[in-house]
A and B are shown apart, each in its own frame.
Chain A
Amino acid sequence: MAPKLPPQHPLEHSTATTAGQAHEHDDHHHYGGPGGIKRWLLTTNHKEIGSLYLIFSLSMFFIGGIFALVVRAELFQPGLQLVQPEFFNQMTTMHGLIMVFGAVMPAFVGLANWMIPLQVGAPDMALPRLNNFSFWLLPVAFGLLLSTLFMPGGAPNFGWTFYAPLSTDYGPPSTTFFIFSLHIAGISSILGAINIIATILNMRAPGMRMMDMPLFVWTWLITAFLLIAVMPVLAGVITMMLMDINFGTSFFDAGGGGDPVLFQHLFWFFGHPEVYIMILPAFGIVSAIVPTFARKPLFGYASMVYATASIAILSFLVWVHHMFVVGLPLAAELFFMYTTMLIAVPTGVKVFNWVTTLFRGSITFETPMLFSLAFIVMFTIGGFSGLMLAIVPADFQYHDTYFVVAHFHYVLVPGAIFAIIAGVYYWLPKWTGHYPDERLGRWHFWLSVIGVNLTFFPMHFSGLAGMPRRIPDYALQFADFNMVSSLGGFLFGASQLLFVAVLIKCVRGGEKAPAKAWEGAEDLEWSVPSPAPLHTFETPPDMTSQAPQRH
């Protein structure tokens, strides 16, 4: 990064054409820190670290995406064409792990780094050096994880849920490295969460009460608490696996008195809150974008906060819905069926509030809004298939079929990922000083929407017809659904290249954005110039005088 640049004309400084140059410029004029690679290695600035997280996440998105396309290419036709079943299993596993821990989670942390200080009027994160450390753990963790592909016995092949004893007794030798890399990624998330909590609780501008905070800040605060609560449980589970593999304990080995079902309980006690970790910040982003482009304040701000908190609390009481088929007493199946359905209530409140915000708004359809509207519709489809899965007797049929794959991809791709993309389009003018190319953005949007639905909608049907998940070959009657899914997958993958084109173009230049880049945008980040200078809010803005914008 940051090659030596030719000397610039002083006038060009204010209109620096790449982010790199803009930083270089600020750097030399403000504190003259190290240049080149070292500058990125050592930066403690929340905006630079935010960019690093986002770039890292985007690279992981493409690597994980390539793995998914290997899977879809093999499933294009029945029979084994391209890869061996063992390698196929490594691809599904690595795809899941990389997307969850390497793409979605770091993208949200990146957005948090960039936007939370700007939205609460803080000069930086509360613990800037820790922030640098949390980021640099990630390339280490995922470098290690990817290196398992080249190890003897291959990469992890037991699914992203790494059920023991499949992963302990029957896993490849690289499992120990997988555990180690997950430990490092987990520590990174935990440190990130501590930093975010410390920033939100202590660094708000004077006069900004909790109930004045933008919803992205609120949802991230609650997400950070979820992380603090469940990442240690994940760390505990993988430590137990490590001991089962290397030190002869038998936590999950029935032969030694352990219990494989215990693994599933522990894993899903982490795993279900984890899926909400991947969606709550998305709710926050959409709650910022919808009011902006509807030019109306968000309907039901307080109920949004309470709904988020209830979802977070309920998410600890539903984990068994992933285990309905392990053989549970009727009372337990009923209890977890009802709690799972209960979660749909606060989720429904949110959807209702977004739709009501749109009602009678003067809506315009810029790219961030398009992605947000698609989020609302398609996330709701995913919520409905979730409700179907919550019905115990139905889940006996659906479990471990492509119906589950359809469900969680609807909540994660047009859910979490569309929200991240919407957030990037929304805040790009603040980051680069330029509007993203609207025409390319629309192409990106429409091709993505078509690609996503072609890929995942047929999976509902192949799942209902009984096609099992994580299988490299399938019966002939599933052939048409799979061919459509594969074509859609390649379309979706290819259209993400447009996203990269938009990003590069927007960093390089484009229509200049004013401080308040979108007409209806009200939050604090729009009061600093675009692009946001390296240092903002060094004297905190006074919020006491400001009329309350919410309630």
Chain B
Amino acid sequence: MTPVQRTVTRTVAALIGMYFFAFALVPLYDVFCQVTGLNGKAANQPRAMSNEGVDTSRYVTVQFITRSSKGLPWELDVMTRQLRVHPGQPTEVEFAFTNKSDSASWGRTVPSVTPSEASLHMRKLTCFCFQEQRIEGGQRVAMPLVFQLTRDLPSEINTVTLVYTLYPVENKDNVSQQVQRTWREGGDA
């Protein structure tokens, strides 16, 4: 190999390496965020209630924001926009989904916690966000979120904001095994 060929081989190897490194960053980022909770993603599995007791000496404000997104004719409302809870205290909040179109469709909600450090301390016992949902045209469905803030929530955090964004899911109607419905049916919209 001439020296030029050697240099070129090495730079091309570095290039290919960096290209794959860029893709490797995607799973690395996910793992990093799961461990540290830094991107505000709460766990997407129900957790057991913790019985460490309620810290009545402290109040934390919890706010809820709901958003719909492109391509899904649904509306998501929350019955209580803001409440004050004690760390350790299990709390239930009611959300309402409305399908504003005439036909049934599938969707899911993606949660995000701010500040992101709080996401590791947000235990969800029940959440509509764990599953994809199907709602009939024109229907309004109420679903609960039951959560608990753990007592080791860092003391500088006084407000926790939960954002729920609606996303469309491709039609699953002919998939035989349907997601089990755990929510209570509401009346018509």
Contact = CB atoms under 8 A, between A and B. Distances in A.
B67 to A, nearest CB: 11
Contact of B23 (A190, A236, A259): A236
A202 B1 CA distance: 13
Given A233-B22, A237-B22, A198 B14 contact: no
Interface string B1-45: 001100110011011101101110110011001000011110000
B4 to A, nearest CB: 5
Interface residues of A, number: 37
B14 A259 contact: no
B165 interface: yes
Given A190-B15, A262-B29, A327-B116, A232 B22 contact: yes
A534 interface: no
Contacts of B108: 255
A528 interface: no
B115 A266 contact: no
B8 A127 contact: yes
A76 to B, nearest CB: 34
A202 B21 contact: no
Contacts of A329: 38, 115-117
B19 A236 contact: yes
Interface in B101-116: 108, 110, 112, 114-116
Given A255-B168, A329-B116, A198 B7 contact: yes
A169 B165 CA distance: 15
A266 B25 contact: yes
B110 A255 contact: yes
B29 A259 contact: yes
B61 interface: no
Contacts of A327: 40, 114-116
A261 interface: yes
Contacts of B167: 253-256
Give the secondary structure class of B's interface.
Answer: helix
A359 B157 CA distance: 55
Nearest to B167: A255
Given A194-B8, A254-B165, A327-B114, A170 B70 contact: yes
Given A232-B15, A233-B21, A201 B39 contact: no
Nearest to B40: A327
Contact of B4 (A198, A255, A256): A198
B26 A229 contact: no
Interface residues of B, number: 36
A202 B4 contact: yes
A202 B7 contact: yes
Given A170-B70, A202-B3, A254-B167, A265 B115 contact: no
Contacts of A126: 4, 7
B137 to A, nearest CB: 21
A229 B114 CA distance: 33
B69 interface: yes
A327 B118 CA distance: 12
A232 B110 contact: no
B129 to A, nearest CB: 12
A211 B23 CA distance: 37
A357 to B, nearest CB: 33
Contacts of B16: 232
A201 B8 CA distance: 11
A261 B39 contact: yes
Nearest to A229: B18
A127 B8 CA distance: 10
Contacts of A235: 19, 22
A18 to B, nearest CB: 34
A254 B22 contact: no
B4 A228 contact: no
Given A198-B7, A236-B19, 10 more contacts: A170-B70, A194-B12, A202-B3, A228-B14, A240-B23, A261-B39, A266-B22, A327-B114, A329-B38, A329-B116
Interface of B: 3-4, 7-8, 11-12, 14-16, 18-19, 21-23, 25-26, 29-30, 33, 38-41, 69-70, 108, 110, 112, 114-117, 165, 167-169
15 contacts: A170-B70, A194-B11, A197-B7, A198-B11, A202-B4, A228-B15, A232-B18, A232-B22, A233-B18, A240-B26, A254-B167, A259-B29, A262-B26, A329-B116, A332-B38
